[in-house]
Amino acid sequence: MATRPKRRRVTESNRASSETSIPNVFPQDPSTPATSEDRSRWKGFCEIESEPAFFNVMLRDFGVEDVRVQEVVSLDPDMLAYLPRPVYGLIFLFKWREEDPDKQEPSCPEGIWFANQTVNNACASVALLNIVNNIPELKLGEHLQQFKEFTSDFTPALRGDAIGNFEFIKTIHNSFARKMDMLNADLQLKNDASTRKKSKAKDSDEDDAAFHFIAFVPVQGRVWKLDGLERQPQNLGPISDDWVLQAAPEIETRMAQYEDGQIEFAILSLVKEPLTQLVATLAENVKGIVSIRQHLLQLQCDQGGLQPDTAAGNNLGEEDLLQGPCEQYRLSQEAIDQAVLSPEVEQHLKSDDIVGSSAVAQELGTAQTSIRASIRDEIKAIQADDDRAASRRNDKGLLAKGLLQVLERMGRISIFMESACCS
């Protein structure tokens, strides 16, 4: 394959638009919080940190269901085994370096949804879309599903342009944009354009390399690296037992390029939302408890001549066990009705063994306590994500300005400036 010229990260039209709009987009005090109108009028994309909470909230706002983003703290196989399954994809954040173009496919293979990044700072959304649009079983939501179908015949570059022009994605992405984020992004574009006019250097300095998100995803029996700054996907080989273990060496190779002591990367995983399976398990548990209790009541009445209202069925477990739908645990009657009983419960429902059935009921009660605790933990984690995202979306420009004014009146600004310069 012939060597291709280096891909431009942003089209000239985008750069020109951003450059000319800088003086007019934010006419008010730059320290005032960004408004919805500011974000809507702005032409760029803001930088987003590699915080799982932000990605989780973005995916939820996109409309994607039953997916959770978790941090990967180690690529050790024993640690990777703790990731919830299935793992839909990995996102790797690092200082970007162009790889050998010959490793890429000649063109985007049929059945692979891959978009280039054609707009600065859009790599977080591009990486997410390059994963979720390749997982057939995921429910994408109305807007993303229509977008996926609309762009199915596009080239990667055109898909990237479509992302940049899709207000639905741009609005959610830029919900994290603060006024200074937008001003800094526009200033960076202006400086980049000015630098290119003054210099003909082909490659930028290593120290100026930008941080960038790329995706790894299993599609059609193979593991793919989907880097929006590369023209085409890279095939990492057929899937064996665990595709995550196959992607790990590629990530480790990138990590090895850093000097000792440098931690300039992050790894995130897109997994099936644990809460979904936990609620399904609780539904099965509740259906099992209700079924066993009804069976025991009937057995006691038949064998002991007791009436249903005097039978000792209520002594078979904790009084606070769930025996029906509960909003607190996101458990619906529909989920209970659709739950499939375990073979053990089914067997005891056909048996006259009161002792054995009572033991099963006790086991189900104990299991429910553990399941409910896990569900509460997951709901707390979701709320914590919402709180982190809300804090990130809160533009604290006025607060920072007020603090600086107080420090200036106290005569402390010069001390902090000297400390910052010396550190």
Tell me the per-residue pLDDT of 4-46, one tens digit each, with 9 for 90 and over: 334 444 443 444 344 444 445 555 566 677 777 777 888 889 8
- Computed from CA positions of residues 52, 57, 63, 67, in that sequence, does the dihedral angle turn out positive or negative? positive
Whether the CB-CB separation of 216 and 226 falls below 8 Å is answered with yes
**Residues catalogued as catalytic:** 123, 212
Cis status of the peptide bond prior to 86, with omega within 30 of 0: yes
Over the stretch 290-300, which tens digit does the pLDDT of each residue have?
999 998 888 87
**Interval 336-355 mean pLDDT:** 90
Sheet with 67-71, side-by-side order of all strands = 67-71, 266-272, 87-95, 211-219, 222-226, 234-238
Instruction: Look at 224-238, 367-381, 391-405 and tell me which has the smallest mean pLDDT.
Output: 391-405
Contacts 24+ apart (CB under 8 A), 335-340: 335/279, 335/280, 335/283, 336/283, 336/286, 336/287, 337/287, 338/283, 339/280, 339/283, 339/284, 339/286, 339/287, 340/284
Give the angle subtended at the CA of 20 by the CAs of 123 and 395, to the nearest 5°. 55
- Tokens representing 117 are 């990044």
Place of tokens 């450059």: 19
- Give the pLDDT score at 20: 41
Please give the C-alpha separations between residue 105 and each of 110, 135, 219, 226, in angstroms, as whole numbers: 11, 20, 14, 11
CA–CA distance, 152 with 69 (Å, rounded to integer): 25
Tens of pLDDT, residues 159-203: 999 999 999 999 999 988 887 777 777 777 776 666 655 554 444
The DSSP result for 284-315, as a single string, is: HHHHHHHHHHHHHHHHHHHHH---TTTSGGGG
Helices and strands of the chain, counted as H and E runs: 16, 6
d(C-alpha 135, C-alpha 88), whole Å: 7
- Give the pLDDT mean for 263-283: 91
Cα separations in angstroms, 23 against 19, 352, 398: 9, 83, 20
Backbone φ and ψ for 16, nearest 5 degrees, come out as -65, -40
Whether the Cβ atoms of residue 397 and residue 30 lie closer than 8 Å to each other: yes
Task: Report the range of poorest mean pLDDT among 116-125, 134-143, 188-197.
Answer: 188-197
CA distance 316 to 333: 22
Strand, coil or helix: 98:
coil
What pLDDT, on a 0 to 100 scale, did the predictor assign at position 24? 52
In tens, the pLDDT along 60-87 reads: 999 999 999 999 988 898 898 888 889 9
Q: Which residue has the higher pLDDT, 40 or 123?
A: 123
